[in-house]
Amino acid sequence: MSVELKVPEVGESVTEVYIGEWRKSEGDRVELDEELVELESEKATFDAPAPAAGVLSKILKKSGDTAEVGEVIAYIDESGADAGSRIRENSAVEGPDSGILTNSATQGRLEPAVTPSARRLLREHGLDADDISPAEAGGRLTVEDVQQFLDQAEPEKRKSTREPERDGEPGRQTETVPMTAIRRRIAQRLVEAQKNAALLTTFNEIDMTAVNALRREYREAFQEKYGIKLGFMSFFVKAAVDALNQFPQLNARIDGSNIVYHNYCDVGVAIGSDKGLVVPVLRNAERMSFAEIEKTIDDLGRRARDGKLSVEELQGGTFTISNGGIYGSLLSTPIVNPPQSGVLGMHAIQDRPVVRDGQIVIRPMMYVALSYDHRIVDGREAVTFLRRLRDAIEEPARMLLEV
């Protein structure tokens, strides 16, 4: 009996997925709930499990294809013979003392189990899983195993698997690859934001002296107690929550002819990954401590890079913070993530001359930008919001005293 493997429901408004890597080939034995194929939606990457045990009899959608939610992409034959683990055969020769066929030298090798993130890294560098031994004998091949192999490998082993299309002239090459589902969705949403919202950006600059001093003073104690570094982002999340409570228009959204105000702060934090920009959400950031914010962002960042974020973790933010400073950006105008009405852009910290008490001094300064939807946020609220945030960062005690 054949069982259909269908694209599962992957979240509200998602209708199409991108077929990634198949973990098995046609004719391979699969077990119930075994990770079978990598699927990439506009919001997250995940693995579809096998709905039954049997043999993967037919693959209808290949890697790189798109499929709609609910569409059949493969068949599993429940009555198929148990093929066991797939063995990669070397050349078969006749044994010297028997009349049977055996593998020359190695008797074949079992293909190791591989984590999804490790498979992606293997694919990027044109490597085979059986070229690398897991650190733990008999264990799964992890991304750390692959990275260690790459660090020790010869330069020629680090080649890309994608071959450029040549236009016939030496030195002039092009490479055409399909946009991923996430990249297509990013493009669509950015165009929608520019088209449907009245976007405007206001700027300010922040003296980071006080925050730098606090981080230096409490760095070791904080890390020893919580097991995580005290970064800049927790200060900005806290300051943003404080400002959002004062100016709720920045924490609202338009619904038809109505304005929906939120009495909570679900702050999205933009994170770059090899798939594109993703914005996981800190739920109820107003209730989180500095340590909880830092731990959550660290966890979300690692899982974003490994493609392990769930759809739910990427939905429902009420405000967004984007830190272009980690890439060296000095100034930019971030684009609002609809249906939100505001996004804060952080930038690189640079020592600059400023005037303090009539004297020119050198201070670590950061430009910040607030882009907002002018349909529900007036310039006065936007400018005052950013000034409130600046004051909270320059005097962090204000966030603790709530003044």
| pLDDT score at 9 | 80
Q: Look at strands 35-40 and 16-22 and give their pairing.
A: antiparallel
In the residue annotation, 347 being an active-site residue is answered as: no
Both 191 and 325 in one domain: the answer is: yes
Dist. CA 3–CA 33, nearest whole Å: 13
> Which CATH number does the domain housing residue 126 bear?
4.10.320.10
Q: Give the DSSP H/E element, type plus range, for residue 356.
A: strand 349-356
Q: Domain for residue 170, yes or no?
A: no
| pLDDT score at 208 | 97
Both 133 and 232 in one domain: the answer is: no
Helix-then-strand count for the chain, H and E: 8, 25
Both 276 and 341 in one domain: the answer is: yes
Both 342 and 194 in one domain: the answer is: yes
Q: For residue 204, what are its two tokens?
A: 């300010």
Q: Which of 165, 160, 126 is nearest to 146 (CA)?
A: 126
| pLDDT score at 101 | 34
Single pTM value for the model: 0.65
| pLDDT score at 12 | 57
Catalytic residue selected from 262, 298, 299, 374: 374
Q: Domain for residue 74, yes or no?
A: yes
- Domain stop point among 84, 115, 140: 84
| pLDDT score at 191 | 85
> Which CATH number does the domain housing residue 243 bear?
3.30.559.10
| pLDDT score at 98 | 38
Both 259 and 395 in one domain: the answer is: yes
**What's 112's DSSP letter?**
P
Dist. CA 114–CA 24, nearest whole Å: 12
Number of domains in the chain: 3
Both 269 and 397 in one domain: the answer is: yes
- Taking only the tens of pLDDT, the chain with its 403 residues reads 889 999 988 665 677 888 888 988 888 999 988 889 988 876 667 788 899 999 999 999 988 788 888 999 999 998 864 444 433 333 333 343 433 333 333 334 445 577 766 776 777 677 877 778 787 666 678 777 887 787 776 544 444 444 445 455 677 778 777 776 667 777 777 788 888 889 999 999 999 999 999 999 999 999 999 999 999 999 999 999 999 999 999 999 999 999 999 999 999 999 887 767 788 999 999 999 999 999 999 999 988 888 788 878 888 899 999 999 988 999 999 999 889 999 999 999 999 999 999 999 999 999 999 999 999 999 999 999 999 999 999 999 877 666 5
Q: For residue 395, what are its two tokens?
A: 């005097």
Q: Domain for residue 17, yes or no?
A: yes
Q: Domain for residue 166, yes or no?
A: no
Q: Which of 337, 379, 81 is nearest to 201 (CA)?
A: 379
Alpha helices in 174-289 (DSSP H): 181-196, 209-226, 233-246
Q: Domain for residue 90, yes or no?
A: no
Catalytic residue selected from 47, 77, 299, 378: 378
Both 146 and 243 in one domain: the answer is: no
In the residue annotation, 374 being an active-site residue is answered as: yes
Q: For residue 242, what are its two tokens?
A: 């404080």
- Scanning the structure block, which residue is given the tokens 């709905």? 51
Q: Backbone phi, then psi, for 139, in 5-degree steps? A: -90, -175
CB 40 within 8 A of CB 275: yes
Dist. CA 269–CA 345, nearest whole Å: 10
Both 193 and 338 in one domain: the answer is: yes
Q: Look at strands 87-88 and 109-110 and give their pairing.
A: antiparallel
Check whether the bond before 364 is cis (ω within 30° of 0).
Answer: no
Its domain, for residue 259, covers: 184-401
